Structure 1
Amino acid sequence: MHDTVTIVGNVATDPTLGRTASGIPVTNFRLASTHRRFDDATQTWIDVATNWYSVAAFRQLAEHAKVSLRSGDSVIVTGRMKIRAWENNGKQGTSVDIDADVIGHDLRWGTTAYRRSARSTPDQKERGRVEDGDDAPPASSRREPADVDTSWADRDAVPGPDRELVDQSSPSARLTF
């Protein structure tokens, strides 16, 4: 039986990329999810318990996870959970595994720069004809929402330290990075 779960936690081990017996890319890492609570007596937050998960990502998600994730990153993982018993050298235990469908950085704790990669069909891969933007919708179908003014920012630029952006629709609104 498989349950779909979403776990928020920290990457505990650097992801490793391998291949299944049939050649499918797979990236594995451990995920730690620590539960906290506020202690009224000490007026501080305390760690209560940490749950550990073994995460596996396959195919293109595996390749992206290997390039994007590092130990210590705050992430959100959604996938199919499996609980299994294990035995090794006379020791027994239970493992909670997640076959990831989606992995993303938790933007509450940091920033990330997203870069869309080109998709390819098996035929394009064989002929080596994958180009950036092959998976992008035609220019005529791309549009910004009508109520969003993006004229104040270069959409491809990432603000650097001490760089200020001014929202043209509200001169008093300034964002400093």
Structure 2
Amino acid sequence: MSTNELTLTLVGWLGAEPKHYPGLGGATPFTSFRMASTRRVFDRDRGAWTDGRTEWFTVKCWRGAARNVAESLRKGDPVVVHGRLSTDEWAAPEGTRTTLVLDAIAIGPDLSYGTARFARTVHPDGAGEGSADGAGVDADLVGLPDEPGRLAALAVLAEPDPDEATSEALASVG
């Protein structure tokens, strides 16, 4: 970890559908999308809130978060993203271009505008979240439709009920 990194939290809206790159050939899987953040300012002369300048960012999520974001978020969704800010430069016909890139550390829906239901993704074999190729992600997730066109990751944990385990232990002693 760098001592001089710039971390920031953005609140805004997805300006495009997330694009998922599964990381074929040993590459690290990632998802990227464009995000707009518009500052609201109070105009004292008019006595009303107005929109300020809209700033655009490219957000990138890696590994297990990449798959979760691709399955959870859609264009127009309000989001909160926390991550490391950098710039990306490339050559275009009209000259050198730059964009602001936020490498997401944490990301989620902005619950100021709606509700969400969290479903933990579980990888019993340890694959997915920490693996470079994301192997085992599809096999370990069961997709259930919770809205048209969306999937919720659902995993069932086979853990005993603590009260039941205690009762069984006491019964074997007595």
- Provide the TM-score with structure 1 as the length reference: 0.67
Aligned match of 2:96 in 92, 110, 117? 92
Matching of residue 61 in structure 1 with residue 61 in structure 2:
no
Question: Matched residues, percent identical?
Answer: 32
How many residues align? The count is 139
* Partner Cα distance (2:20, 2:140) in 1: 25
Looking at structure 1, the residues matched to 63 and 161 of structure 2 have their Cα atoms a distance apart, in angstroms, of 28
Residue 12 (structure 1) aligned to one of 6, 15, 32: 15
Q: Quickly say closer, same or farther: Cα 1:50–1:116, change in 2 above 3 A.
A: same
Q: Work out whether 1:22 is the aligned partner of 2:48.
A: no
Residue by residue, what CA displacement relative to the aligned partner does 1:3-34 show, whole Å, maximum 9, x if unpaired? 11111111110101113463322111001010
Alignment-derived partner of residue 118 in structure 1: 122
Deviations 1:104-128 (A, max 9, x none): 11101111111111134149949x6
Amino acid at match of 2:6: D
Root-mean-square deviation (CA, aligned residues, Å) is 2.9
1:132-161 deviations in Å (ceiling 9; x for gaps): 345x98754xxxxxxxxxxxxxxxxxxxxx
- Residue 9 of structure 2 aligns with an amino acid whose one-letter code is T
1:14 counterpart SS class: coil
Secondary structure of 2:26 counterpart: coil
Structure 1, unaligned stretches of length 5 or more?
141-177
TM-score (norm 2): 0.69
- Which structure has greater helix proportion? 2
Q: 1:72 is matched with which residue? A: 76
Instruction: Show structure 2 runs of 5+ residues with no match.
Output: 143-154, 163-174
Using CA pairs under 8 Å that are at least 6 residues apart, name the structure with larger relative contact order, 1 or 2: 2
DSSP 3-state at the match of 1:51? strand
